[in-house]
Amino acid sequence: MEQQKEFFQIIKEIESLLKANLGNVKLTLEQKKRIERIEKLRDQKRQDISLMDQEKNKFQTLYQHCEEELNKMQTGTPAFDVTETQALRILEDIEQLETEIKDAIEFLAGSERSLEEITLEASGEIKKVSNHSANNAARVSSLLEEFPTTQKEQLSRLFKQSIPRTFMAFIHNKGCSECGIKLSLVDEKSIEEKYEIKFCKGCHRVFIPTHL
């Protein structure tokens, strides 16, 4: 009888370990998202710099053309209608773009440093969480070995299912506390008085005696 009671304590411990591992999965995803956010910001800034470079090159070509036309005007060679004011405006646009590119490059350098720091920190967290999850999984495997073969197989199948909130159920109003399916009086006594491991036929959770 005492061994049967101990089985339910083991089931509770396994559920606690599996919930911890679920939390570890969420923590790992959060750390990966941190890295992805900085990577996206960095990639966007690189793209911005590339586009500004292309725009600057266009203005530089246009400015050179204006200079050539102005030189032709000074030598009396027929030229297009290009004024010095237009050339100066283009030059100002080039200088503005150069300033923006410089600022973007500085921002990008900061993003690269942030990415390196966050990646280092996140990688450390992911490794720590991964080790914790591996230890928990090993503990779960070890605890399952305490059960007779048939029950071990049933519990193993249960713990692999995507069951919300909890793998355990209690008897409430002569039925399952989680899905409400009714139990026979024989099953109810087997669980509450004989401490037998039984599973709900509706939601497949394992029943835990109410006073344990």
Nearest residue to 168 via CA among 47, 4, 18: 18
Give CB contacts under 8 A, 24+ apart, made by 132-136: 132/20, 132/24, 133/20, 133/21, 133/24, 133/25, 136/17, 136/18, 136/20, 136/21, 136/24
Nearest residue to 159 via CA among 179, 181, 130, 136: 136
Q: Which residue has the tokens 């050179």?
A: 64
Contact between 16 and 132 (Cβ < 8 Å): no
In the chain the domains, ranked by start, together with CATH numbers, are 2-146 (1.10.287), 148-212 (no CATH)
Distance from the Cα of residue 118 to its chain's centroid: 14
Q: Which residue has the tokens 């396994």?
A: 14
For residue 172, list its beta bridge partners. Answer: 175
Write the DSSP symbol of residue 173.
Answer: T
The pLDDT profile of the chain, 212 residues, written as one tens digit per residue, is 688 889 999 999 999 999 999 999 999 999 999 888 888 888 888 888 888 888 888 778 877 777 776 666 666 554 455 567 777 787 888 888 888 888 888 888 887 888 888 888 988 999 999 999 999 999 999 999 999 999 999 999 999 988 888 999 999 999 999 999 999 999 999 999 999 999 999 999 999 999 87
Q: Residue 153: what pLDDT?
A: 93
204 vs 154: CA distance, rounded Å = 10
In this structure, is the dihedral angle defined by the CA atoms of residues 211, 142, 23 and 160, taken in order, positive or negative?
Answer: negative
176 vs 181: CA distance, rounded Å = 5
pTM above 0.75, yes or no: no
